[in-house]
Amino acid sequence: MTKPIAPLAPAARPDQTPADARLRKRRAPKGRQVDPAVARELASWLGDAPPRRELLIEYLHLINDRLRCLPAGHLAALAQWLKLSAAEVYEVASFYHHFEVVKEGQDAPPALTVRVCDGLSCAMNGAADLLQRLPALLGPGARVVAAPCVGRCETAPVAVVHQHPVPAATLESVQAAVQQGRRTDVATDAIDLAAYQSGGGYALLRDCLEGRRDPEALMSALDDAGLRGLGGAGFPTGRKWRIVRAQAAPRYLAVNIDEGEPGTFKDRWLLERDPHRFLEGMLIAAWAVGIDAIWIYLRDEYHGCRELLTSELQALRAAIPGLPRIELRRGAGAYICGEESAMIESIEGKRGMPRLRPPYVAEVGLFGRPTLEHNLETLYWVRELVERGTGWFAAQGRHGRKGLRRFSVSGRVREPGVKLAPAGITLRELVAEFCGGMLPGHELYAYLPGGASGGMLPARLADVPLDFDTLQPHGCFIGSAAVIVLSQHDRATDAARNVMHFFAEESCGQCTPCRAGTAKAGALIADDRWNQPLLAELSQVMRDASICGLGQAAPNITDCVMKYFPQELER
């Protein structure tokens, strides 16, 4: 029998024993070595402030904004500066869409990137044509890529040149924006601090801070008005404030302005026009609940809003001393961060992965502390409800419902946009009274009442009241009140494919039912004939076993097509 060949022992130097030779030190430490020049460059960008682990995403933005990518050498230098492993930095950088990691040996991306939104509203308005024709028009020095909804559905289709949106995009307007560096995203007609105060702004907050208001009375007023969370979940606002107030201090407030639901743009619209009404509501909530610090999480697509908020917060701090600490955090392109616990993970500088619950964020939220989480529009209502009286708000509404709602309306209507309308209004009434009717040559065929995740209903159900709890019997929900209107020129199956593609791309990948389920559903609906029994079974598994609302709600669109549009599946 042939004996195996023994491995060669390392050669020994004259002054070494064989054992010493086997234990020779490496010429360099393990892992990627940091280029001193890159480390110096990064240090000049970061300044003298001490490193903070929770600001990892902000540091990544700083690099990405300057270089339009994240080179491997800069990630290694950042990891060294933060005293983190390279893996920790890489896993965060590679999670978010707006960060482009360039590995060692890879070429950097082109200097110009144009993103074309391919969300449902933009797809209905010619996004595919832009995606096909822009590369030839802009030439080899530019890259044109599809992007998920950018929150400007009322001006569909939308392209984004670097960080600046081009609404109602055409080949000519995108080319002009590229050539001229035109800025289109800075809000110029917003009410500033001086104008807001001249109209009575911050008087209510001063009453609160100076002891002329009682927190319990204010929370009872919100109860009486029936104000509920307007980010999608609809939890009663006054009750939420009491739950967090009952927790041990310190308590935090996280404001969710990620607004990534396709079809939703009302928070941006409000922020661009009257930012201090939201900020006053936020500070009143902080006073009532006993909040020690506030984080505002703003989606990365809203660059103009970030500039506006930065300047107005600076003015506000100077005008009203003693406010709690307020930090403005920047998202990085991840729809999942609209889920409250995923947003909290992102604020902490991590991947936006939803947490298992319990515990709930009201008990264990930001940095392990009790956290009040709110949507912008909910806080926007606080001042008006208290000043006008709760009876005024409760007296609004139609068809037995109470209150007012802001609807983000897009699609085949004459006048898309944000519409303040009575709660319980029907889709037919909303289109006729607030949107100028359908576009010429278009008749109502279908509509999504609550964005991509809220399902889809046919025209024969256009008289169902639009409000919390009214759509569930039909397999839908109002969510953030993002209404997308389809006509006879559209197909429900095409809408379902667009939406399911979005969910498959935006799944964080943490749980198998959502990660594999959205991809499998997309494959099953690719053809006109669907395997409906298998889709129904898949839908049930996703609802029962997904960790968060993305996987639980993703099947709504396919379930609705099978239920309400069988004619499209029989072709």
User: Residue 141: what pLDDT?
Assistant: 87
Instruction: Give the integer Cα–Cα distance in Å for 491 and 66.
Output: 43
| pLDDT value at 29 more than 80 | no
Cβ neighbours of residue 225 closer than 8 Å, sequence gap 6 or more: 385, 390, 393, 394, 403
Convert the pLDDT of each residue in 273-292 to its tens digit.
999 999 999 999 999 999 99
Which residues does residue 113 pair with via DSSP β-bridges, in sequence order? 143
Greatest Cα-to-Cα distance within the chain, rounded to the nearest angstrom: 98
Alpha carbon separation from 496 to 7, 61, 89, 243, 254 (Å, rounded): 61, 33, 36, 38, 32
Q: Tell me the pTM.
A: 0.93
Convert the pLDDT of each residue in 53-101 to its tens digit.
999 999 999 999 999 999 999 999 999 999 999 999 999 999 999 999 9
- Taking a C-beta distance cutoff of 8 angstroms, is the pair 166, 127 a contact? no
- Taking a C-beta distance cutoff of 8 angstroms, is the pair 410, 261 a contact? no
User: Residue 391: what pLDDT?
Assistant: 87
| pLDDT value at 31 more than 70 | no
Convert the pLDDT of each residue in 217-264 to its tens digit.
999 999 999 999 988 888 999 999 999 999 999 999 999 999 999 999
Instruction: Give the integer Cα–Cα distance in Å for 80 and 480.
Output: 42
Mean pLDDT taken over the chain: 93
User: Residue 3: what pLDDT?
Assistant: 56
Please give the share of the chain, as a percent, with pLDDT higher than 90.
88
Instruction: Give the integer Cα–Cα distance in Å for 221 and 253.
Output: 20
Radius of gyration of the chain, Cα coordinates, nearest whole angstrom: 26
Convert the pLDDT of each residue in 88-116 to its tens digit.
999 999 999 999 999 988 999 998 999 99
